Amino acid sequence: MQDSQCSIQFKTVDLACCPFCKKSVPTASRDPLSHIVCPTCGKQVLVPGRLGVFLLHDHIGEGEMGTIYRATDESLGREVAVKLVRIGQADAPESRERLTREACAAGKLNHPRVAQVYSLNFSEGHPYLVMELVSGLDFAKKFEREGPINERVALRMALDVAEGLSALHRENLVHGDIKPANIVLDRDGNAKLVDFGLSGMTRHDGQGNFIGTPFFIAPELLQGVDDTHQSDLYSLGATLYYLLSGRLTHEGETPSEILKARLTQKPVPLDQHACHISPATRRLIMRMIEPSPAKRPANSEIVAAEIREALALLEASLQSAGVPLALRMHRTLLRLRLPRLPWRQVQARRHRRAFLLLFVFAVSAGMIAFTAFHPACAPYRTHLRQVLDRCDNAAAAVSSLMQGTVSRIRRAIGRDRPSSPSALAPDTSPHAAFTTANGETWFTMTLGAAPQRGSAIYAGGTLILQGSGTAMWEGPDCCRYVWSQTEGAYHFSASLLAHADQDPLAMTGMLIKGADPALGDGLFFGVLGSGDLVLQLRRATGEKHVLKREPPRVSPWRYLGINRTADTFAALVSEDGRTWAPFMTCTLPLTEANTVGFVVSPNLAHALSTAKFTTIRLTGKTVP
């Protein structure tokens, strides 16, 4: 079977193993690398494809120079990464020769900071690269979970990458695709470069269109210039800029505006977004992202040496006059997590936890006060103001979470009752039992790119949701999504108490997807930043079709709801949550199991969107 994006021929596989339920799925009649619904659990599964001795069974991602799959080398019994290489069409023979030559050189390179290249193979004349599969957390996901990262962590990562680049550059090779997603923190805590690029590959499709999200590549590459050592250094600098500040090097409200700015303007100074970063680190990063390659550091060895100096200066500055404890303490406070304990265990442990929190806050307050008033600490007061702002946010989040936890514990032991007169009685249908019993287990995932500081708090029957548009152009949905799953017929509703958006096309509301929320079409019902109520079909390809849109308050409502019966979805509105009026009915073929949840999407780069939902109801009975 032929891959739709290239000339590689895959052999079909009779059976696939569902990664979710571990049951066998018949795939003999399906195209390799397409998707099929598992008959057991209803989730979408990749149909494996055999390519020589390699069995491709999981899609890892789309690189700028090809598509990458997790695969099993059946001859050696090991897991590998296989990249289906994209090469230029106009000079394909020359590209293949250059690709082969550089792959041979890369295959001889064995460095702990660079994923190993095992082989370059050809199928029907089309190349595919077999590489080491590195297990660990990449920095794109780390950023999604934590937001901007600690300066020391960033510098140590950059030092590892610079050492890996030095090894590549000594062999006259370039990586060509350095970005957060291609830097993996391995099990030993070291950074490693993955998804190797070679100059015989191309970043453009057959029509000459740029492929991928080119926010980390050097501006000269956007104009068709070949990769160089300096372009690798630019990408590393742009990656550091983003991980430390949460911002791209250039600003704009659309991808095209950002790309235009990168070609015509200097980068925004890093201290405008992250003034707490040390001067040595700021200076190095700004030199690395100079628009002119000639003004960047001459080579990766120089960059590695300057990173070591910046690390030494940073460590020395944190050893002065009581500052280290104060600065480390605020990091500790921001990372405190209260585990979800069974209510019977809380009684025995809550006194120890309360004492620990009081002790930590007391020591931290004392050290911060010392830092604020001692004359020797004057240079750190700007950073201290940022620390206090973060502590305010952390305290508010902890307070909200603790209030919800206490309320749930009291209800569990019979000392409290929900006081809201509009609270709905638990539904006893099997489809909704898990939701009414375990409401606090709603959890957060992302479709496309995650927000810079996304958060989801479920406490006391209220869901508070926040998302940002830092990297909103990756993937078809680009939103913060908090969800649960159900199947069969159901009614899903909630009251939207408040929402705050900055853009008329920002989205706040409900999103219905199939069993796997990362795949397939979806249905959005909610309110836009303009106040319009909208029902929108969202295709897996990224297209969006408005089915119905009403100006603000044409239909009075406080509650939004959706009835699902087979492939029919009825969008409903209500003023009291009991009497429902139809908004629109549509047909959408989804899997038997559905993913239902709430979304916010600001529709702007670097903007935030916040919403508050309450009286959340998911039942196995549709309402009239």
Same domain, 192 and 303: yes
In whole angstroms, give the CA distance from residue 145 to residue 137: 11
CATH number at 55 reads 3.30.200.20
Domain of 60? 15-132
Q: Specify the pLDDT at position 434.
A: 27
Tally of domains within the chain = 4
Q: What radius of gyration do the chain's Cα atoms show?
A: 26
Q: Is residue 428 part of a domain?
A: no
User: What per-residue confidence (pLDDT) applies to 485?
Assistant: 76
279 in a domain, yes or no? yes
User: Is residue 8 situated within a structural domain?
Assistant: no
Residue 596 confidence (pLDDT): 86
Instruction: Give the Cβ contact number of residue 240 at 10 Å.
Output: 26
Strands 559-565 and 568-574: antiparallel
Residues 171 and 234 in one domain: yes
Q: What is the pTM of this model?
A: 0.53
Q: 288 and 155: one domain?
A: yes
- The verdict on 153 and 302 lying in the same domain is yes
Residues 600 and 455 in one domain: yes
> Does one domain contain both 360 and 275?
no
Looking at the DSSP bridge assignments, the partners of residue 538 are: 522, 544
Say yes or no: 297 and 148 in one domain: yes
CA distance linking residue 110 with residue 92, whole number of Å: 28
Enter the tokens of residue 503: 């853009």
The CATH number covering residue 485 comes to: 2.60.120.200
Tokens of 508: 């706040």
Domain boundary, last residue among 132, 149, 166: 132
Separation in Å, CA 556 to CA 232, 253, 508: 56, 33, 17
Which residues of the chain register pLDDT less than 50?
A: 1-5, 90-91, 200, 212, 321-351, 376, 379, 392-394, 396-401, 403-455, 459, 470-477
Task: Examine the fold and report which residue of 289, 317, 345 is the final residue of a domain before the chain moves on.
Answer: 317
Please indicate, yes or no, if residue 92 is contained in any of the structural domains.
yes
User: Which pLDDT tens digit goes with each residue over 216-231?
Assistant: 888 888 787 888 899 9
Both tokens of residue 414? 């019979």
Tell whether 423 is covered by a domain: no
The predicted-structure confidence for 476-500, as pLDDT tens digits, reads as follows 345 667 777 788 888 988 888 666 5
Structure confidence at residue 267 (pLDDT): 92
Q: How far apart are CA 432 and CA 502, in angstroms?
A: 35
DSSP of 328-382: HHHHHHHT-------HHHHHHHHHHHHHHHHHHHHHHHHHHHHHHH-GGGGGGHH
Instruction: Indicate whether 470 and 611 sit together in one domain.
Output: yes
Residue 455 falls within a domain, yes or no? Answer: yes
Asked which of 296, 317, 338 is the last residue of a domain, the reply is 317
In this structure, are 401 and 484 located in the same domain?
Answer: no
Residue 514 lies in a domain: yes
Encoded amino acid at 162, one letter: A
Within a domain: residue 454?
A: yes
Looking at the fold, whether 328 and 311 belong to one and the same domain comes out as no
* Residue 417 CB-density burial (10 A; 0-12 exposed, 13-18 middle, 19+ buried): exposed
Report the distance separating Cα 511 and Cα 477, nearest Å.
Answer: 10
pLDDT value for 61: 75
CATH of the domain at 169: 1.10.510.10
Whether residue 297 sits in one domain with residue 172: yes
269 shares its domain with 282 = yes
Q: What are phi and psi of 360, to 5 degrees?
A: -60, -45
Q: Which pLDDT belongs to residue 161?
A: 96
